[in-house]
Chains A and B, each alone.
Chain A
Amino acid sequence: MTEVVSGLAPELKGAKRGSGIVPEASAGERFQSTDVEAFEVPGGREENWRFTPMKRLRGLHDGTAMFAGTAAVSVTETDGVTVETVGRDDSRVGQAGIPADRVAAAAWSAFREATVVTLDGTPEPVTVTVDGPGAGESAALHLQLRTTPHTEATVVLVQRGSGVLADNLEVVLADGSRLNLVVTDEWADDAVHVAAHHLSIGRDATLRAIAVSLGGDLVRVSPTVRYAGPGGDAELLGLGFADAGQHLEQRLLVDHAVPNCKSNVLYKNALQGVKGTTNAHTVWIGDVLIRAAAENTETFEFNRNLVLTEHARADSVPNLEIETGEIAGAGHASATGRFDDEQLFYLQSRGIPEDVARRLVVRGFFGEILQRLPTPELRERLEAAIEAELAIAGA
C-alpha cells in the first residue's frame, strides 16, 4: 500500500504510493464483480454514492439487509414467450453484464433463482410484474429478458408494492432484434429499490426503453448499455416525478466500444416538495463513453428537470468521454427550470385555475415521453398516476 514509487521526477523522489481511493480515470474502467465482498462498504462519499442518502438504503449496501423476503415475478405468457426459472449456474446469467457497485453485487450474491424470459418472433406485448417483498422485508431479484434474432417485442415491467428490493435486470438483445421496454417504478411510499440494468445490444439490434419513476421512498436505477456488435441502436427515455421526501436517482452509462452504433438518452424529471419535509430530490448521472474503436458513433444525451415548488433539489451531471475523432455526432445537455410565480400568474390571468395550470405545465413537460409509450392503456394509466402525484402536493 505504501511502497515507494519508482520512476518519478527527481523532486518527487521518495514519494509513497497513496492509500486513498484511486479516482476512476474513466466511466468505462469501473470495477466489476458478482461477489459482494469484492466491494468495499461504501460510506457515501464515493463518487458513485455521493448523492445517495445512505441511511435510507435499509442496509442494502453494508450487509445488514438480510434478503430473506421474496419479490414475486409474474409474466403474462403468450405465444412466443418462454419463462424459465434457473439457477445461478445457468450459462446465460451474466451475459448482459455484471455488477459495478456493492448493492448490485449484494443482489447478485443473494438471489436464489433467476427468471429468464425469452421472446421469440413477434409476440403480443408482455407484462412482467414484480411485487415487492412487503413492508419491513428485503429481497434480491435476478431477471433476464432476452430476444432471439430478428424478434420484435414489447415488454412492460411493472414494479410495485412495499419493502426493500435490490436487483439486476439483464436485457440481452440478439442480432437484428427489436425490443420496446417500459420499466415502471410504482412503489408504495415505504419502498426502497436499487436496481442495476445491464443492457446488451446485439448487432443491428434496437432497444427503445422508457423508465418511469413515480413511487417509493428511495429508487436508484443504474442502466448500463453495451453493444455486442456494430449497428446497435439504444434509445433510453426516462420520466420521474419526485414528491416530498422522495429520492429518485438515475445513473446511466452508455459504453460505445464498437463502431456504427447509436444512443439517445432523454430523461425528464419533475419535482414537487413540501415545506417542513425532506426535499424532493432527483439525481441524474449521464455518462457516455466513446472508445477508440467506436468509430462513426452517434450519441446524444439530455436531462431536463422541472422544479415545481420550493423544497426540491435536482442534481444533473452529464459526462461525455470521447476517445476517437471519427464520430458521426456526440452531444450532451442538461437544463433545470423552475415553474415560477410569473408563469403561474400568466396562466391564471387567462382564467386558468392554479391546479389546471400546474397540470398543463407538467403534461406539456412529460408529453414527449408519454406519447412514446407503446400502448394507449399504459399511457392513460401513467398519466393518471402523474395527475395523482400532482394532486398530493397540489393542495
Chain B
Amino acid sequence: MSTLEIKDLHASVTTEDGPKEILRGVNLTVRAGETHAIMGPNGSGKSTLAYAIAGHPKYEITSGEVLLDGENVLDMTVDERARAGLFLAMQYPVEVPGVSMANFLRSAATAVRGEAPKLRTWVKEVKGAMNDLDIDPDFADRSVNEGFSGGEKKRHEVLQLALLKPKIAVLDETDSGLDVDALRVVSEGVNRYREGGETGVVLITHYTRILQYIKPDHVHVFAAGRVVESGGPELADDLEKNGYERFVRAAGAAV
C-alpha cells in the first residue's frame, strides 16, 4: 500500500522579472485507496503542484519534500518518478508527431513494468482498455495526440492510466473541455483504476461537476499556492454554493 507525502513544498517558475514563487508550502498526504480532490480558482497553483510532482523542468523546487513510500521523489528524473509509480494525466497532453500511439504505449509499458509485455496478451490488453474508453482502434496507428480533439486526448490519458497502473495518479483538470458523455466515460475509467483500493488519486479540478462521477474521500481548497482548507465531500458542496471567494480573500490577506 503506497503513500505520497508532500511536505512544505515550495516551487517557483522563472519569469522575465526573475523567479516567481507559485507553491508556498503545500502539505498533503495521499494513501492508497484514497481519492483527494484539490479544488481552487484559476491561478492558484494547483496545476503547478501537479507538474512539480511529475518533475517538469520549468519549475524549480526551492524547499520541501515529496516522498513516495518514503523515497524522495525530488531526487529522481522525470522517467524515474514514473517508473516509481507516479502518473500525471495532463490538462494539455503533448503532441508527438511521428510516434504512433501503439509504439508509445508499448514503450511506456515496457519502461514502467521493467520488461516488454508479451505481444499476444499486450494486444488484447490494449484493445480491451481502448474499448472500455470508447476509443476507436484506428487511434493506435495515429501519432501521439496529433490532431486529437480535447476529449480524445483526455481519453488517451486515462487509457495510459489503465495500462500503466501507477501507485498514485494525479489528474490535472481531466474533466475540462469534456461533454457529459465523455466525462462519464473518462470518470468510469478512473473509477475502474481505483476500484481495487490499492491506488491513490489526486483529482485537480476547477469544477465540482466531475465529483458527481468520481467521489472523493477528501476535498482540499487550494489558494495562493497552498492548501487553505481541507474537509470531506461536503466541502465541495459548499464550494458549489458559495464559490472560492472567501478562500481567495483569506489567502490574499495571509500573503
Contact = CB atoms under 8 A, between A and B. Distances in A.
B111 A350 contact: yes
B99 A345 contact: no
Interface string B72-83: 000001110111
B160 interface: yes
A11 to B, nearest CB: 54
Nearest to A365: B98
A358 to B, nearest CB: 11
Given A343-B94, A350-B160, A353-B79, A360 B103 contact: yes
A346 B96 contact: yes
A364 B90 contact: no
Interface in B91-125: 93-100, 103-104, 107-108, 111-112
Nearest to B111: A351
A350 B103 contact: no
Interface string A340-380: 01110111111111101000110011010000000000000
B68 to A, nearest CB: 14
Interface residues of A, number: 21
Nearest to B94: A346
B108 A364 contact: no
B88 interface: yes
A44 interface: no
Interface in B43-57: 54-57
Given A353-B79, A364-B103, A343 B54 contact: no
Interface string B122-145: 000000000000000000000110
A370 to B, nearest CB: 12
B57 A349 contact: no
B112 A346 contact: no
Contacts of B96: 343, 346-347, 361, 364
A256 to B, nearest CB: 31
A18 interface: no
A362 to B, nearest CB: 8
Given A345-B56, A346-B90, A351 B98 contact: no
A210 B104 CA distance: 27
Contacts of B57: 341, 345
A306 B95 CA distance: 14
26 contacts: A341-B57, A342-B94, A343-B94, A345-B55, A345-B56, A345-B57, A345-B94, A346-B90, A346-B96, A347-B99, A347-B104, A348-B78, A348-B79, A349-B78, A349-B87, A350-B108, A350-B111, A350-B112, A351-B79, A351-B82, A354-B77, A354-B79, A356-B107, A364-B96, A365-B97, A365-B98
Given A345-B54, A353-B79, A365-B98, 20 more contacts: A345-B56, A345-B78, A345-B94, A346-B94, A346-B96, A347-B99, A347-B108, A348-B77, A348-B79, A349-B87, A349-B88, A350-B104, A350-B111, A350-B112, A353-B111, A354-B77, A356-B107, A364-B100, A365-B97, A367-B98
The 5 closest A-B CB pairs, nearest first, are A364-B98, A351-B111, A351-B82, A350-B108, A346-B94
